[in-house]
């Protein structure tokens, strides 16, 4: 339940707990070392995500391949410093950048059978399962704001939105929800 958004039987919106987020820019040759240090192999296919564990719980790991040399790594907030230290020491011999962007954005989960249709109220991507299957992750737009969309299951989307733009996103989604409920 998120302030300003009314959940229905067809979809509900949940705000993520505090998380540590990193942007890793590195060449393909560093992937193996990074995956080993991170505890989860970084997906090689562009626009795909991988994860294990439950969000916010100890040991949870998320890796999203969003650009040719760009991965987002999301872990529980308390494990951020350890993960960063492990990656930095493993990647010492590779040219790379690892930036902590934990507070730049907020995470949401949009789930339910009507989730894809509701997102399409503002997102121009084809979110049919044939074009956007579970496992796919990419940046796109919702009306005027950029967001990251990761489909974990047919009716389960994880979203990341810049913190200052989140109120706009929630308000626009709530407005669209009136037409979709």
Partner 1 sequence: MLLIRCPWCGMDRPEIEFRHAGAAHITRPGPPDRVSDEEWAAFLYLRDNPKGRVAERWRHVHGCGRFFNAVRDTVTDVFVVTYKAGEPRPPETGPGESQPTEARP
Q: Which is nearer to partner 1, 83 or 148 (CB)?
A: 148
Contact indicator for 34, 22 with CB cutoff of 8 Å: no
* Alpha carbons 58 and 54: distance in angstroms, whole number: 8
Shorter beta-carbon distance to partner 1: residue 5 or 150: 150
Strand partners, 112: none
Which residue from 124, 133, 154, 167 is in contact with partner 1, where contact means CB under 8 A?
124
Is residue 120 involved in binding partner 1 (CB under 8 A)?
A: no
With contacts defined by CB under 8 A, name the span among 97-105, 132-140, 151-159, 167-175 that binds partner 1: 132-140
Binding mask 47-86 for partner 1 (x = CB under 8 A): x------------------xxx-x----------------
Sequence-distant (≥ 6) Cβ neighbours of residue 84 within 8 angstroms: 22, 98, 100
Report if residue 138 touches partner 1, rule: CB under 8 A.
Answer: yes
99 binds partner 1 per the rule CB under 8 A: no
* 115, 159 Cβ separation under 8 angstroms: no
Based on CB atoms, which residue is closest to partner 1, 39 or 67? 67
Where do the H-state alpha helices sit in 39-119?
A: 80-90, 115-119
Residues contacting 133, CB < 8 A, separation 6+: 151
Q: Could you list the residues that contact partner 1 (CB under 8 A)?
A: 46-47, 66-68, 70, 124-125, 138-141, 146
């Amino acid at each position: 339940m998120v302030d300003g958004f009314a959940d229905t039987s067809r979809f509900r919106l949940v705000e993520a707990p505090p998380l540590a987020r990193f942007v890793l820019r590195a060449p393909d040759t560093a992937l193996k070392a990074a995956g080993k240090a991170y505890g989860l192999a970084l997906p090689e296919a562009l626009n795909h995500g991988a994860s294990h564990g439950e969000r916010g719980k100890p040991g949870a790991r998320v890796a999203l391949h969003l650009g040719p040399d760009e991965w987002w790594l999301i872990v529980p907030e308390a494990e951020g410093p350890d993960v960063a230290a492990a990656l930095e020491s493993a990647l010492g011999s590779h040219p790379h950048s690892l930036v902590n962007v934990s507070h730049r954005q907020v995470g949401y989960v949009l789930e339910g059978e009507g989730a894809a249709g509701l997102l399409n109220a503002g997102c121009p991507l084809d979110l049919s399962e044939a074009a956007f299957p579970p496992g796919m992750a990419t940046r796109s737009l919702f009306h005027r704001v950029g967001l990251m969309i990761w489909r974990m299951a047919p009716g389960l989307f994880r979203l990341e939105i810049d913190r200052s733009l989140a109120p706009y996103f929630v308000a626009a989604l709530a407005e669209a929800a009136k037409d979709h409920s």
